[in-house]
Structure 1
């Protein structure tokens, strides 16, 4: 019997891979429900998982949960997870779009086991651009300790980022082949769809996704959300530092009642919008940084082409 208080559409994502944008766009459809938090990370925190997201560390050695705008620990219990989807129990598709499910060694398998009738949509962004964008995003949140992209990659290759959250493992998270192999191992072809971000941008790009879900096209172009923007100017940089300070966030959460947390997040979200308004977008990865990670990326693209049975030269250009 189908449990209508569990998600039946999983978008296993990677950070800065357009997971948020796809969920936001699909969420405009009347037959699709996306929970307000969007990414509960439930299946990446299960006790059965070999790597638990809520036990991983951020660069300052605090837990990942302590640096998020939302509390992933709120969704450790299945009952709480189900309650979040209760408002959409009569909706055809209920979406869990979590950015840590793809790199997690067990999240997709655990999701499939708990919701065997779920569909899965994986969006793959150009791995070079994704790695660089993730680095710049962490810079924009003032949470990236490496002064340059090259320094971050060197630290990762030296194992200094082992045990960190995937969002700071910029290179390894961009190696998709093993991640897609895990998806293919547990999800049959009829229940999965893999698309390239470059293919779904622009008019008509989402039609294959609507077809896969059996939905009438509702919005034909991708609605971009959560784009990386670097604050411009000393005052806005200071504002960004205060709004993203993990210590301040922990202190506030420790004294406020739970009922006040959600309204506060909305206020902080609006303040962030003002701080980053008119800021600098990082653009494409510089040639020297692209060359730096090319050995691993090119080998992974070769492997991924065989898995998907398709040409990925669009990423090599």
Structure 2
């Protein structure tokens, strides 16, 4: 059985791709898309303590259906892996035959989308992206981390979106077992990308349909309700964990339904000054990624009007 890792990056249509691939009858893709087992050291200790599938390797493997003879591969879609060299090395050590996928996008758009996502998740409390960006170095040292942030390293946006260096490391670890696509590839040539990934994982090539529109950036209608859902009191979190354990499920499905009912999709445009600042910051890394992929990503991402 082939392990398939959808390494990241976050806000790069990985949820949509995961749900698309999950339609394949030969792939085990559990409801827990991002177990985060190999990057568990970055999870807040109290959250880690009440998350069964990061407690042991056996508990992690139990997420995947390995008893069905029809299953040829299983998929872990944890987007925290791509930015963690330690996670990549650990995956390769445990699963020498693993296949890996990375999806990338314009890092400036990634940062903007990820900031909006983390605001909705209540992991981020800076009122503007500019303030969040300026707080990165302090947060890298553990200063100013919001209480609800389950994975504090997510708040260091520069590290999350440094895709060139991440892909360079991943290619060094996985070699030809790593495939890299852009979000635009998924949008413009999904059937080819899907077929290549299926063959990469040892699956019979099937038409899996359109790409689902999953996990768009959202804004809460009621912040009080959002706070209760995203960062529940300890007694409620423990009760929910206990109920899931008794029922033998990884999700009750309640949280997602409440989130959907209490939020609306949102798209925020970056200020020109902020976009220029971030493009300047990521310019060398985009050049590195372009050289690795043998593509002119500056042109593909509309950076040709900047120095």
TM-score range, shorter chain: 0.7 to 0.9
Which residue of 221, 235, 241 maps to 2:227? 241
Q: What is the RMSD of the two structures over their aligned residues, measured on CA atoms?
A: 2.4
Post-superposition CA distance 1:98-154 (Å, at most 9, x none): 010011121122111111111111001221111011111111223312111000111
In structure 2, distance between residues paired with 1:105 and 1:270: 35
Give the equivalent residue in structure 1 for 2:267. 282
The structure-2 alpha-carbon separation of the partners of 1:65 and 1:80, relative to structure 1 and needing over 3 Å to count, comes to: closer
**TM (normalized to structure 2)?**
0.84
Deviation at 1:223, TM superposition (A): 1.3
Conserved 8 A contact 2:38-2:90: yes
- Are 1:38 and 2:33 an aligned pair? yes
Residue of structure 2 equivalent to 1:305: 290
Change in Cα spacing, 1:86 to 1:177, as seen in structure 2 (3 Å) is same
1:223 equivalenced with 2:212 (yes/no): yes
Gaps spanning 5+ residues in structure 1: where?
46-51
Aligned residues of 2:20 and 2:209 also touching (Cα < 8 A): no
Runs ≥4 residues deviating over 6 A: none
**In the alignment, what sits opposite 2:173?**
186
- Spell out the pairing of 1:140-219 with structure 2 (5 A cutoff): 140-156=120-136, 158-163=137-142, 165-189=152-176, 191-202=177-188, 204-214=189-199, 215-219=204-208
For 1:316 and 1:63, how far apart are their aligned partners in 2?
42
Name the CA shift for 1:82/1:280 in 2 (closer, same or farther; >3 Å): closer
SS of the equivalent of 1:230 reads: strand
Distance 1:142 1:81, change over 3 A: closer
**Contact conserved, 1:13 with 1:98, CA < 8 A, in 2?**
yes
Per the TM alignment, residue 209 of structure 1 is displaced from its structure 2 partner at its CA by 3.5
How big is each residue's C-alpha offset from its partner over 1:38-96, in whole Å with a ceiling of 9 and x where there is no partner? Answer: 11111113xxxxxx223xx5xxxx75648xxxx54532311111221135653122101
Alignment of 1:56-135 (within 5 A): 57=44, 65=48, 72=51, 74-87=53-66, 89-90=68-69, 91-135=71-115
2:278 to 293, 302, 311: 293
| Residues in 1 aligned to 2:67 and 2:262: alpha-carbon distance in whole angstroms | 33
**How many residue pairs were aligned?**
286
Q: Distance in 2 between matches of 1:63 and 1:137?
A: 22
Distance, in Å, in 1 between the alignment partners of 2:185 and 2:27 is 22
The CA deviation string for residues 267-288 of structure 1, in whole angstroms up to 9 with x for no partner, is: 1221111111xx2412443423
Q: By how many angstroms is 1:261 displaced?
A: 8.7
